């Protein structure tokens, strides 16, 4: 779905060029769930915007959804296949109601009115917003707006959704809702890139990519990352409670492959 090789990106900063991505290589297969993390300003947003055709790479190669993104036409075309959902999706909302918002994306598809109505009803139902189809979008909560953004992706049959720190401003129930929705879509075949700073979300992801200062520092499974790589300490990450307990078990000699990453795994282990 994504194949980046030695990808570089720089922005103009007065007379100088600011290097933001410095030789990123990553392959994401169709149907994968990958979590992406890294300190503020390390280049995560720049990378995902490049995947979505919004930034023009300055070097290396990048193909997304089978399209070579060095071509301007492909950078426009890729948005149909890969969509972003933001922390604050206000900027993404164009309609005054959820119904209108989803309809807007479908307008140029040449669908008959009845097919379009059925599609809108279906995708709003999938994200739990059927009852708010005609509500004023300004009355939706942050979590509901994110789910509306996901409904718009579903209406367009998006193959990959990149969630950009969507849980960072939500309460625990809202976090659980959007995470569950993303997991459901993943189970149905959508490729997911989940950008987050939350340790528990990294620990529960099958694959974790860690960026630092425009480079990829780690790309692999979370158990090795948290218990064997030494990177979390080097980056001064606060350990999630489950990982802290796992580290105590590790010190007592528990083998790496039995150390817990989730609360459920910890309960089972104890
Ligand atoms: N359009 C732009 N023009 C100039 N500099 C930019 C632009 N976009 C990003 N930058 C710079 O690129 C660097 C990486 O920013 P980016 O937003 O990609 O990081 P990030 O890891 O997503 O950060 P955060 O977690 O705070 O969102 C920063 O120094 C930022 O100021």
pLDDT recorded at residue 186: 97
- Could you give the maximum distance between any two Cα atoms of the chain, in Å? 65
Which residues, other chains included, contact 62 with Cβ-Cβ below 8 Å and sequence gap of 6+? Answer: 2, 3, 4, 5, 7, 50, 51, 68, 69, 70
Ligand 1 pocket, residue 42 CB under 6 Å: yes
pLDDT recorded at residue 109: 78
Dist. CA 33–CA 190, nearest whole Å: 9
pLDDT recorded at residue 64: 96
Mean pLDDT computed over every residue of the chain? 92
Ligand 1 pocket, residue 125 CB under 6 Å: no
pLDDT recorded at residue 106: 86
Contacts of residues 180-189 at CB distance under 8 Å and 24 or more positions apart, as own/partner, are: 181/127, 181/128, 181/147, 181/150, 182/150, 183/33, 185/150, 185/154, 185/161, 186/31, 186/33, 189/31
pLDDT recorded at residue 252: 93
0.90 cut: is pTM over it? yes
ipTM of the prediction: 0.96
Ligand 1 atom closest to Cα of residue 12: 4
- Residue range 237-259, pLDDT digits in tens: 988 899 999 999 999 999 999 99
Nearest residue (CA) to ligand 1, atom 6:
11
pLDDT recorded at residue 110: 78
Residues 259-263 have a mean pLDDT of 92
Written as six digits, the tokens of 35 are 């979590």
Ligand 1 pocket, residue 40 CB under 6 Å: yes
- Sequence-ordered strand ranges (E) for 112-268: 160-164, 191-195, 207-212, 215-220
Instruction: Give me the percent of the chain exceeding a pLDDT of 70.
Output: 99
Dist. CA 120–CA 110, nearest whole Å: 14
- Residue range 16-67, pLDDT digits in tens: 999 999 999 999 999 999 999 999 999 999 999 999 999 999 999 999 999 9
pLDDT recorded at residue 6: 97
């Amino acid at each position: 779905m994504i194949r980046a090789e030695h990808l570089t990106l720089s922005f103009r900063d007065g007379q100088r060029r600011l290097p933001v991505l410095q030789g990123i290589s990553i392959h994401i297969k169709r149907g994968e769930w990958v979590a992406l993390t890294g300190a503020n300003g390390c280049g995560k947003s720049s990378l995902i915007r490049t995947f979505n055709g919004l930034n023009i790479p300055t070097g290396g190669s990048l193909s997304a959804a089978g399209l070579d993104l060095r071509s301007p036409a492909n950078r426009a075309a890729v948005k149909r296949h890969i969509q972003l959902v933001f922390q604050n999706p206000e900027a993404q909302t164009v309609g005054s109601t959820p119904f209108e918002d989803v309809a807007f994306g479908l307008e140029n598809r040449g669908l008959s009115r009845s097919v379009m109505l059925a599609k809108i009803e279906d995708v709003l139902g999938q994200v739990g917003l059927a009852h708010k189809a005609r509500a004023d979008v300004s009355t939706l909560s942050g979590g509901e707006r994110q789910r509306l953004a996901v409904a718009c992706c579903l209406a367009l049959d998006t193959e990959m959704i990149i969630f950009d720190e969507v849980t960072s401003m939500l309460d625990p129930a809202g976090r659980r809702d959007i995470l569950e929705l993303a997991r459901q879509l993943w189970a149905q075949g959508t490729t997911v890139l989940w950008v987050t700073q939350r340790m528990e979300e990294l620990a529960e992801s099958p694959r974790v990519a860690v960026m630092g200062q425009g480079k990829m520092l780690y790309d692999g499974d979370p158990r090795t990352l948290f218990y064997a790589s030494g990177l979390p300490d080097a980056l001064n990450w606060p350990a999630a409670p489950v990982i802290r307990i796992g580290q105590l078990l590790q010190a007592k000699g528990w083998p790496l492959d039995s150390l817990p990453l989730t609360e459920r795994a910890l309960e089972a282990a104890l």
